[in-house]
Amino acid sequence: MAQLSYREAVARGIAQEMDRDERVVLVGEDVAGAGGVFKTTAGLLDRFGPRRVVDTPISEQAILGAAMGAAMTGLRPVAEIMFSDFFAVCWDIVVNQIAKTRYMTNGQVSLPLVIKSGNGGSLRFGAQHSQSVENWAMAVPGLKVVSPSTPTDVVGLMAAAVRSDDPVLFFEHKGLYSGRAEVPDGEIVDTLGTAKIRRPGRDATVVALGLMVPRALQAADELAGRGIDVEVIDVRSLVPLDMTTILDSVHRTGRLFTVEENPRLLGWGAEIASIAVDEAFWDLDGPVQRITTPHIPLPSADSLEDLVIPSVESIGQTIEKALQS
């Protein structure tokens, strides 16, 4: 079993699928010679050559246009948008073309396409390079949306995304890239649309995604020392969304908290809260509470960014206060 960083796991997941299927190709700005701006594609050019690992101009529209065309003609491309913030400049092709093609062709044309991207804050990149935009994608029918929190999940969910016949937006959290963990040897293939219980508990259910998962787990460990036993669920996939695991947990604990890096307005936790109220109202012992960033752009200054993104301390304080009220 190897120790891999989250960024190394991205390259391993892509390599696993490129080894398995010669139709899998990688395209994006600096993904080849430079190994990616975050080094998530290091070594792939040497291993698979320039016909399958292709650098592109600095044009998000061109990257996704080429990837879409490749997918329509039988390849299974993985395209990289360096920073997820820049989905904003290619949103037309994502929303109006990639997401709609299967529906508008009555299933005659599918797009087995993965768009991977660095997402989220904590690296002091400021308002235009630190956003968590997975909730943008979640709102668009026709897209699958994935965001792993561990190196093993990166490999397995990347494999599942590449093997999907529908377009998948694969959000890699930039704040997790340097984290390391043991990853099983051999082929790893996960399942889209499955959440995982990272820590069992009886007093409350905490649902988190990406970088918020390890923070929620640390908060849960600290709360345990004060007699509060919290269950932490890693959502992993927003579309499809595994509400069965979340509702089963709420049924046992009676309390639900979401921990989101998104701005509060229309974050993914609002949808989970809505479903929980619809389907588990009589199981709830108190209101669903959402722990989010404020509805402001992400600041660059260390102290300000730390202040607005949910922290271990703010997560723990919110849960403890709610359970004691």
Q: Does 218 have pLDDT greater than 90?
A: yes
CA-wise closest residue to 190 among 159, 167, 164: 159
Gap between the Cα atoms of 55 and 250, Å rounded: 46
pLDDT in the model for residue 204: 98
pTM above 0.85, yes or no: yes
Q: Does 113 have pLDDT greater than 90?
A: yes
Q: What is the DSSP string of 35-97?
A: --TTSSSTTHHHHH-TTTEEE--S-HHHHHHHHHHHHHTT-EEEEEEEEGGGGGGGHHIIIII
pLDDT in the model for residue 325: 78
Q: What is the dihedral of CA 102, 103, 106, 110, to 10 degrees?
A: 10
Gap between the Cα atoms of 216 and 165, Å rounded: 33
What average pLDDT does range 77-99 have in this prediction? 97
Side chain identity, residue 240: P
pLDDT digits (tens, 9 = 90+) for 29-50: 999 999 999 999 999 999 999 9
- Catalytic residue numbers read 129
pLDDT digits (tens, 9 = 90+) for 124-175: 999 999 999 999 999 999 999 999 999 999 999 999 999 999 999 999 999 9
User: Hunting for tokens 């992993």 — which residue is that?
Assistant: 236
Measured between alpha carbons, how far is residue 174 from residues 5, 14, 81, 117, 153 in Å? 12, 17, 13, 9, 15
What average pLDDT does range 209-236 have in this prediction? 98
Q: Beta strands of the chain (E only): which ranges?
A: 2-5, 24-28, 53-55, 76-83, 114-119, 144-146, 168-173, 180-183, 196-199, 204-208, 230-234, 237-239, 256-263, 289-293
Q: Calculate the CA 108 to chain-centre distance.
A: 29
Burial class (CB in 10 A: 0-12, 13-18, 19+), 131: buried
Burial class (CB in 10 A: 0-12, 13-18, 19+), 24: buried
Q: Does 115 have pLDDT greater than 90?
A: yes
Quick one: CA dihedral 177, 183, 186, 189, positive or negative? negative
